[in-house]
Amino acid sequence: MASRQPVIWWSLRCFTLLCGALRHDTAVKLGGFAGKAIGFFSFSRKARARSRVVRILGVTDKRAREIIRGVYEHFGKALVEFIRLPRMYGNIDEFVAVQGEENIRKALSMGHGAIFLSAHIGCWEYGAAVLAKHGVPMNALGTEQRDERITKAITDMRSLAGVKPVGKGMDLRAALNCLKKNEVLAVLLDQDAKDGGILSPFLGHLASTPFGLIKIVHRYGIPVVPVHITRDGDGRRMTMIIEAPLEGRNGRPFGEDIKYAVDKCNEKISGWIREKPEQWMWTYPRWESTTNDK
C-alpha cells in the first residue's frame, strides 16, 4: 500500500476547491502564479534542473534559468487545467485545436488498437480527453502515487473526462487487453526505466527507456501514433498534433528491430521538447540510470 502524505493531500484538496470556485482563466492564472512561487522556494531542485538543462541542451545558464522559470509556471497552470478537466470536458474543443485526427482513426481501422505515444509535455491530459470527446476509445496506464488517495483522484478525473484507467505503471497485460478491443492506449514514454529499460538516446544523451510495449507492438501489429499537445503563445489555447504511425527500418514492421523502434520514439519526444522546452518536466531526473543525475 502506498504511504500517505497528509500535508500534500489536504493542500491539494483546498487548492482544488479554490480552483473550482473561480472562473477558468482566473484559476489557470492562479496556477501559474502558484507554480512560480513553488519554484522560487525550491532552491536545490531548481538548481539541479537548471544544471540539467545546461548540460542536455547546451544553452547558457541565463537561458536555462528562463526555461526553468517557464517550467514551474507551465506545470502550475497544467495542474489547474487537470483539476478542472471534468468541468471543461463539455466544451474542450474551445481550448484545443486538433491537427491530424485522421491518423488515429486510420490506425484504428486496421483493427489492432493503437498506441498513443506521448510524453509529460504540454497539456497531455487534454490530449487524451479531447480524443475521447470525439468518440475515440481512450485508455491510459495508471499512475501510482505515494498517497493512494491522490492516485484515486487522478484516475477519477481521467474517468470523468472519458479516459479509462488501465492497470498500474507499465502493466503489459492490461495494456494488451484494451488493444485487443481495438481501443487506444496512451503511453508516456519519457521516464527512467532503470534496470528494466534499454539504453537509447534521449535529447542526445543515453537514457534507460521502457521497451516492453514495443514487443507487443511488433507481435500484434499495433500502430504507434506520436501525439503531443502544447500550450500556444496566448497561454489559453492548446494545439494537439497527431502524426502518422511510426515505420520500421527500410519499410519493415515497426518494432521488429527493438532498438531502432525505441530510438525512433525517443527521437520524436526529443524533438517536441526542443520546440517547447518550458513545457517539459526538467525537474525529473530522466538520465538518473546513466549518469549521476539526481
Residues recorded for the chain: 294
Q: 115 - beta bridge partners?
A: 185, 224
Phi/psi region, residue 28 (left: phi>0; alpha: psi -120 to 50; beta: rest), is alpha
CB–CB of 217/108 below 8 Å? no
Task: Tell me the C-alpha distance between 132 and 95, whole Å.
Answer: 15
Query: What single-letter DSSP state applies at residue 243?
Result: P
Would you kindly state where each structural domain of the chain is located, as residue ranges?
A: 6-279
Instruction: Please tell me the predicted confidence (pLDDT) of residue 144.
Output: 74
Query: What single-letter DSSP state applies at residue 233?
Result: T
Ordered per-residue pLDDT tens for the chain, 294 residues: 456 667 787 888 888 888 888 999 999 999 999 999 999 999 999 999 999 999 999 999 999 999 999 999 999 999 999 999 999 999 999 999 999 999 999 999 999 999 999 999 999 999 999 999 999 999 988 667 777 888 888 888 899 999 998 866 657 788 888 999 999 999 999 999 999 999 999 999 999 999 988 999 999 999 999 999 999 986 779 999 999 999 999 889 999 999 999 999 999 999 999 999 999 999 999 999 998 777
Smallest Cα–Cα separation from 268: which of 117, 162, 135? 117
Task: Tell me the C-alpha distance between 14 and 33, whole Å.
Answer: 16
Tell me the C-alpha to C-alpha distance, in Å, between residue 126 and each of 89, 95, 97, 140, 258: 9, 9, 11, 12, 30
Instruction: Please tell me the predicted confidence (pLDDT) of residue 125.
Output: 92
